[in-house]
Amino acid sequence: MNDAKTDLGKKILKIKKAKGLKWGDLANRIGMSPTWTCALCMGQMSAEPHHAEGLADILGLDGEEAATLCEIPYRGAQVMPPTDPLIYRFYELVLVYGTSWKEMIQEEFGDGIMSAIDYDMTLERQPDQKGDRVKITMSGKFLSYKRY
């Protein structure tokens, strides 16, 4: 049911490349973060009208395409396990660190989870003499398991 959002994502990637735009440029235009803006364009988030208008303006999208950005997606187009090495590495982190996340979060917060809905994330370049690094900062609200 996300075909329109997926197709639009491919189109945006082409326009973005042709115009020499960065995710940061798109994000600045609408006053949001680059990560969320990228996820929106990849069809995994829903925009508010003014975000959609801003992106339509900078990318040259028409009204129907702007409306598509506002639709709430059926999320999760990523095939599992991921076959692409870049994406697989994150899957591998779940394999290797899954139990550590559980034990560490529970030690600090008690029984509950880190929300993946009330959640934000940044991605940046971390300069390093031995080779620059990718730095990802995740922040999710802790939710306590309700006892009732």
**Shortest Cβ 60–its own copies spacing (Å):** 19
Query: What residue type is assigned to position 65 of the chain?
Result: E
Residue closer to its own copies by CB (options 60, 119) is: 119
Give yes or no: 33 in active site: no
Complex with its own copies: residue 60 or 74, whichever CB lies closer: 74
Q: Mark whether 115 is an active-site residue.
A: yes
Task: Give the residue with the Cβ less far from its own copies, 60 or 78.
Answer: 78
Q: How far is the CB of 70 from its own copies (least distance, A)?
A: 10
**Catalytic one among 48, 64, 75, 92?**
92
The CB-of-84 to its own copies minimum distance in angstroms stands at 5
Look up tokens 């508010």; give the residue: 48
CA distances from 146 to 82, 99, 126 (A): 33, 22, 39
Task: Identify the active-site residue in 75, 115, 124, 144.
Answer: 115
Specify whether the CB–CB gap between 23 and 124 falls below 8 A.
no
Catalytic-residue membership of 46: no
Q: CA dihedral defined by 13, 22, 71, 76, rounded to 10 degrees?
A: 70
Catalytic option among 48, 64, 75, 89 = 89
User: Which tokens go with 19?
Assistant: 């115009």
Helical packing angle, 49-59 and 3-19, nearest 10°: 40
Active-site residue numbers? 89, 92, 115
